[in-house]
Structure 1
Amino acid sequence: KSTDKKGSQGERPEGKEKESKNESEMEKLMNRHLDWMQTRGFTQDTIKNSRYGINCFITWCDERGISSPNEVSTAVLARYQRYLYHHR
């Protein structure tokens, strides 16, 4: 593993080789965020860990019928924090 904070130029975040036509709004925003992290020189391990954490949140939202980023409110985030507290 490299400890270099800069990723290779032109290298895509792990798992981002092709975008799915079936991406949800939440997944599109996650991928935009991961691309931003890549351009800012975050390590691939950091990007991978962020992808994992955000995917967990998206799955939790999907299980509760929350499919749009516009539905993510302060109350929803508080519920997710409580969920994490009780299930980690």
Structure 2
Amino acid sequence: MALLDKVPGELKLYIGGIFTLRRRDALKEANITHVLSVLRMPLDDDLFSPFSHHAVQVDDVEDENLLEHFPATNRFIQEGLDGGGGVLVHW
């Protein structure tokens, strides 16, 4: 998988690993304005500057309840898309 993959369709929605955040040129080219983190680990705030950032701290286990986070994550993603930017979801 490439470090920054666009989700098929017209939306500016991308997925990638945490190291995608180090590819500033690719993020700029994709007009990323919002970053959604889905993982449980200490996160360096400097890594997310200048993006709007939302973190969902979950474990990568089979019985993790991701559904409870959907209302907040969906709002965050929609906010980024409605603002004309791109959204990166990383794990």
- Please report the TM-score for the alignment, with normalisation by the length of structure 1: 0.33
Q: Which has the larger Rg?
A: 1
Choose between structure 1 and 2 for higher RCO, CA contacts under 8 A separated by at least 6 residues. 2
